[in-house]
Amino acid sequence: MTTPFRKTLRAHLLSASAAFLLASPAVLAQTQPGEAAEAAVTENPFFQDWTAPYGAPPFHLIEADHFIPAMEEAMARHNAEIDAIASSQEAPTFENTIIALENAGNDLERIQRTFSVLASSATNDDIRAIQSEMSPRLAAHYSAISLNDDLFPRIDALQRSAGVLNLDAEQARVLERIHTGFVRAGAKLEGDDRVRLAEITEQLASLYTAFSQNVQRDAESFALVLASEEDMAGLPDFAISAAAQAASDRDMEGQHVVTLARSSFEPFMTFSTRRDLREQLFQAWTNRGDNDNEYANADNIREILQLRLERANLLGFENFAAFRTANTMAGTPEAAHDLLSEVWEGARAKAEIEEAQIREVMADMGTDHALEPWDWWYYSEKARVQFYDLDEDTVKAHLSLDNVLNAQFAVAERLFGVTFEERSDVPVYHPDVRVWEMSSAEGEPLGLFYGDYFARPGKRSGAWMGALRVQHQLDGAVTPLILNNCNYNKPAPGEPALISMREAEVVFHEFGHALHGLLSNVTHPSISGTAVDFDFVEFPAQIYEHWMREPAVIQEFALHYETGEPMPTALLESVRSAGNAKSGFDNVEFIASGFVDLAFHRLSDPELIANLDINSFEDGVLAQVGMPHEIEMRHRSPHFLHSFAGELYAGGYYTYMWAGVLDNDGYAAFEEAGDPFDPELAKKLYDYVFSSGNSRPAMDAYVGFRGREPSTGPLLKNRGLTVADSES
């Protein structure tokens, strides 16, 4: 998942979510050149040379007060650059229009990317206030670009004559993507429709910020205090240690706290014998953004849905889902829904098998209460131990975060010939952040990788990749600065961070995103790295997860944190055999969220949306597909950041499943070759996927790597959802 606040021209005019960066030209009067005080600009670190290695941001010099003046000045400069392009008396050419657009706004982009990191990973009241103020203003700024009466005709003229411009393949792709982005951003609208679209976008920008801040504040306002030994009954040492560290992070030294970070929530739900506390934690988890307090998000959801529908209608689409899926691999919301439905039946059947095992365990334990959602993790773990002879605590003892990081780097070296060396001379925004330099096999520096792996107050939940700078070669080689964020429990000083196998796979997943940015090798920044079709962007991340499951990787890097001994063969076999022990649950909770996300965005009646009861709508969608009572959807709507905190995954949460088809089918090529590091396949994966950005259509990129279009068979087989392969 990528960082949401980044609203750059490059990042969004070229993506399917481009249209939400439109706003009223009236706001631009606030940011004309010369308004920012000259002294303030001179002293502002954003307008000074960055002398850190690779020109990395000087986080130690940047203060919250620097951002608004810097953004205002940078918007003014950007306006002047755009005006020069749009008002040029020369006939439009690729160089004076497209290349000029690519080069415009560099100051603003680096400010926004830096701010995005802090807003996601190290926020505070000052940062939140800036985010609330500047989100609609930035949307307003970009409206002058996407709705500029003089700019789009130049782009349109170039696209109409593209066949005679003598462009190379990458240039033609950039022109087509930019043109499509402007059209989807409303450049062809006229009169009142243009004005209304601008108003909608400003409102949405504010609503997205409000939604995400509500979720974070609601989550941070809750803490389950474990006040006695009885409250900690059943918890393994790593969970108790993490609870102590979480308390320390909240200035509650000597106490133990469970938070609503997933890495804190899931271990407690899995191991705690205190059913009453599990229920209390579960209710807090599922009700984020849906409590009777100032952070409730129901009104925000209704307004977001209304505005998205209105905008989709203005652009000629029946609903937002139709707008969202157009110009993607899926093509239509019906195709996306069909994929979810195809996997749903197998997932639900597998969940029923898991439920039967759980009920057997409950009977053996003499349990006399009904199976509820807050029981599933706990009894599922008991069933896994009983049926697969696998103890999660024992597995974690072999999975220190440091060793998993070494593994992700080693796999990249074997596949792509790159090496990573940690550096201590690069400024960071928090002491937990580590930085590595990536170099080619020949020792050529290629970029920096930042890793931020521990949960803390001021950091949003989940795991994601972000970019402080993207790779391109437009004016010489520009190296990427890429970040990964996770939210694992920080260990006590001197102790290793032990993570689960699934958490180790998430580390690999996010590093797959990071490699997509780090290995990018294109000329134009607008198509660099992860700037691909939104239902293709998860493929590089998800295929990279497979190498964490490779026996050779596990045997080399899954070393016991005390003895250094490799994971025993018997334990490794148990891990592999239990790999799908909870796949029914995992897929059901995910697909349920995908169904609800699509259903919200397929609504076409504004009156219905205005009076929508969010919880009842969720319940109705889930009842229609036969959602098991004992499983809750992964993301309830009031805290569904993918769907309502921005637009990258809005109406598109299905993309993780879409990419699941690609990654399982793609990795099957390595299995068929009999070598997880097959050099020929690794080169194709690099050439067509990891290095090529958006230089070709997504399906062409996949076929270039795989040699054919994908099949759903490997996904269903690998997740244990069917006994037979089926072709897509």
**Confidence tier at 16 by pLDDT (50, 70, 90):** very low
110 and 234, same domain (yes or no): no
Pairing mode, strands 419-423 and 224-225: unpaired
What local confidence, expressed as pLDDT, does residue 461 receive? 86
Is residue 652 within 8 A of residue 331, CB to CB? The reply is no
User: Is residue 122 assigned to a domain?
Assistant: yes
What local confidence, expressed as pLDDT, does residue 19 receive? 31
Please, what's the b/e burial string for 392-408 (b: 16 or more CB within 10 A of its CB; e: otherwise)?
Answer: bebbbbbbbbebbbebb
Contacts 24+ apart (CB under 8 A), 186-195: 186/19, 186/22, 186/146, 186/147, 186/314, 186/315, 187/146, 187/147, 187/152, 187/156, 188/152, 189/147, 189/314, 189/315, 193/314, 194/147, 195/24
Rg, C-alpha atoms of the chain: 25
User: Is residue 99 assigned to a domain?
Assistant: yes
250 and 128, same domain (yes or no): no
What local confidence, expressed as pLDDT, does residue 726 receive? 37
User: Is residue 37 assigned to a domain?
Assistant: yes
Domain boundary among 237, 254, 286: 286
Q: Which of 355, 381, 510, 589 is catalytic?
A: 510
118 and 245, same domain (yes or no): no
**Confidence tier at 535 by pLDDT (50, 70, 90):** confident
> Has residue 647 got a pLDDT over 70?
yes
> Has residue 417 got a pLDDT over 70?
yes
Residue 68's H or E segment, with its range, is: helix 67-86
155 and 237, same domain (yes or no): no
233 and 161, same domain (yes or no): no
228 and 163, same domain (yes or no): no
Please give the biggest Cα pair distance in the chain.
Answer: 84
Taking only the tens place, the pLDDT of each residue in 595-620 is 999 999 999 999 999 999 999 999 99
Domain boundary among 286, 301, 336: 286
Q: What CATH number does the domain containing 116 carry?
A: 1.10.1370.40
Nearest 5°: phi and psi at 2?
Answer: -105, 160
Please, what's the b/e burial string for 200-213 (b: 16 or more CB within 10 A of its CB; e: otherwise)?
Answer: bbbbbbbbbbbbbb
User: Is residue 156 assigned to a domain?
Assistant: yes
82 and 166, same domain (yes or no): yes
User: Is residue 329 assigned to a domain?
Assistant: no
The rounded distance, in Å, linking the Cα atoms of 437 and 446 is: 8
How much is the mean pLDDT over the chain?
92
> Has residue 547 got a pLDDT over 50?
yes
Choice among 37-46, 172-181, 266-275, 642-651 with the minimum mean pLDDT = 37-46
Q: Which domain holds residue 229?
A: 223-286
219 Cβ contact list (under 8 Å, min separation 6) = 259, 260, 261, 288, 461, 639
Taking only the tens place, the pLDDT of each residue in 456-480 is 999 998 999 999 999 999 989 999 9
510 carries an active-site annotation: yes
175 and 127, same domain (yes or no): yes
User: Is residue 439 assigned to a domain?
Assistant: no
241 and 96, same domain (yes or no): no
Amino acid at 44: N
Domain boundary among 247, 269, 286: 286
User: Is residue 652 assigned to a domain?
Assistant: no
Taking only the tens place, the pLDDT of each residue in 255-277 is 999 999 999 999 999 999 999 99
Count of alpha carbons within 13 angstroms of residue 279, beta-carbon side: 7
What is the total count of domains within the chain?
Answer: 2
Is residue 536 within 8 A of residue 659, CB to CB? The reply is yes
> Has residue 92 got a pLDDT over 50?
yes
What local confidence, expressed as pLDDT, does residue 40 receive? 64
User: Is residue 459 assigned to a domain?
Assistant: no
47 and 109, same domain (yes or no): yes
What local confidence, expressed as pLDDT, does residue 144 receive? 81
Q: Which residue has the higher pLDDT, 30 or 23?
A: 30
Taking only the tens place, the pLDDT of each residue in 276-300 is 999 999 999 999 999 999 999 999 9
What local confidence, expressed as pLDDT, does residue 10 receive? 52
264 and 167, same domain (yes or no): no
35 and 179, same domain (yes or no): yes
**Confidence tier at 327 by pLDDT (50, 70, 90):** confident
